[in-house]
Homo-oligomer: A and B are copies of this chain.
């Protein structure tokens, strides 16, 4: 994600980085060349001009569809940000309530460290890879971290660890079942937010929607030179370039922000958010420079994974 001050108006106008110009420059070149060819053909070979009425009639509906699509993408971007905001909130709440209610420094430290690992595990799930589980992974037993990395879904594996600590605390008589269930709701919310993120990653705009929009856009721009050649002459070429820039740029923004969990310039800064969570949690319950022992997770039916499954 690119941080910028929106109050500066002129400063960004010429920037390439973060913009969509480099993505659409090929398309602009094709359509500009086509426009030039049509104008030349019209002026030297055969009149091919038509009135602009067709473009006027189709232009409104195309504009609406285009802007709605870009806004649907923005909604996905913003929903993704909200879900990560939820991860920020629930990790804070989890450690806040646990730290104050579980009277065992050892358990609270372990819970905090695993909670700090969670956002990194989620990043791994959303990007289908990445072995960095953050600073807290360094203080947790290596074998357990490997178990998480080997799990089919690293996020759920970490959530199991957190919930298991709560079970341990209740079985040890440190907290009541009321308190355990109340804290566990935060783990439940983390799983919910994770599922929301996975949904965004795995569900693109319906193919038919994307295809019809692009095809209509393609035909619309392809037809522009015929409508503009007579009134504009050679000036039709730069005018068509500008119109194509406007329309194709809006479409490209929709593509750029549709899946906000990647590593491109307009994506969300997942590592920064995960790092911020780790720092806040360390401020609440310091776990850095600690060696944390964590007993084997044992619950009915658990078994060592049969083979190292792929991230999916």
Contact B61 A247 (CB under 8 A): yes
Contact B74 A284 (CB under 8 A): no
* Partner-contacting stretch, out of A36-44, A133-141, A193-201: A193-201
Residue A211 CB within 8 A of the other chain: yes
Contact B266 A207 (CB under 8 A): yes
Contact of A182 with B179 at beta-carbon distance under 8 Å, contacts A242-B223, A256-B208 already known: no
Contact B299 A100 (CB under 8 A): yes
Residue A209 CB within 8 A of the other chain: yes
- Chain B nearest Cβ from A160, distance in angstroms: 6
Stoichiometry (number of copies): 5
Contact B199 A50 (CB under 8 A): no
Contact B109 A250 (CB under 8 A): no
How far is B301's CA from A104's CA once the two chains are assembled, in angstroms? 9
- Chain B residues with CB under 8 Å of A15's CB are 211
Within 8 A of B (CB), among A194-246: 194-196, 198-199, 203-212, 214-216, 218-220, 223, 227-228, 231-232, 235, 239, 242-243, 245-246
Contact of A219 with B191 at beta-carbon distance under 8 Å, contacts A53-B228, A153-B280 already known: no
Contact of A218 with B301 at beta-carbon distance under 8 Å, contacts A205-B6, A208-B266, A266-B207 already known: no
Contact of A64 with B62 at beta-carbon distance under 8 Å, contacts A96-B191, A209-B74 already known: no
Contact of A255 with B164 at beta-carbon distance under 8 Å, contacts A13-B215, A99-B299, A242-B54 already known: no
Total chain A interface residues with beta-carbon distance under 8 A: 140
How far is B305's CA from A280's CA once the two chains are assembled, in angstroms? 11
- Chain B residues with CB under 8 Å of A85's CB are 195-196, 198-199
Contact B299 A2 (CB under 8 A): no
How far is B214's CA from A12's CA once the two chains are assembled, in angstroms? 9
Q: Which residue of B lies closest to A112 (CB)?
A: B301
- Chain B residues with CB under 8 Å of A235's CB are 50
From B12, B196, B212, A250 is in contact (CB under 8 Å) with B212
Contact of A20 with B246 at beta-carbon distance under 8 Å, contacts A283-B305, A286-B303, A300-B285 already known: no
Within 8 A of B (CB), among A94-122: 96-97, 99-105, 107-109, 112
Contact A19 B212 (CB under 8 A): yes
Residue A123 CB within 8 A of the other chain: no
- Chain B residues with CB under 8 Å of A214's CB are 9, 12-13
Q: Which residue of B lies closest to A164 (CB)?
A: B100
- Chain B residues with CB under 8 Å of A178's CB are 177-178, 181
Residue A46 CB within 8 A of the other chain: no
Residue A127 CB within 8 A of the other chain: no
How far is B204's CA from A67's CA once the two chains are assembled, in angstroms? 19
Q: List 23 A-B contacts (CB under 8 A).
A: A1-B206, A1-B207, A4-B204, A4-B210, A6-B255, A12-B210, A19-B215, A20-B208, A56-B57, A61-B246, A61-B247, A89-B196, A92-B191, A97-B163, A100-B167, A152-B279, A152-B283, A176-B177, A182-B184, A206-B253, A207-B265, A208-B257, A208-B266
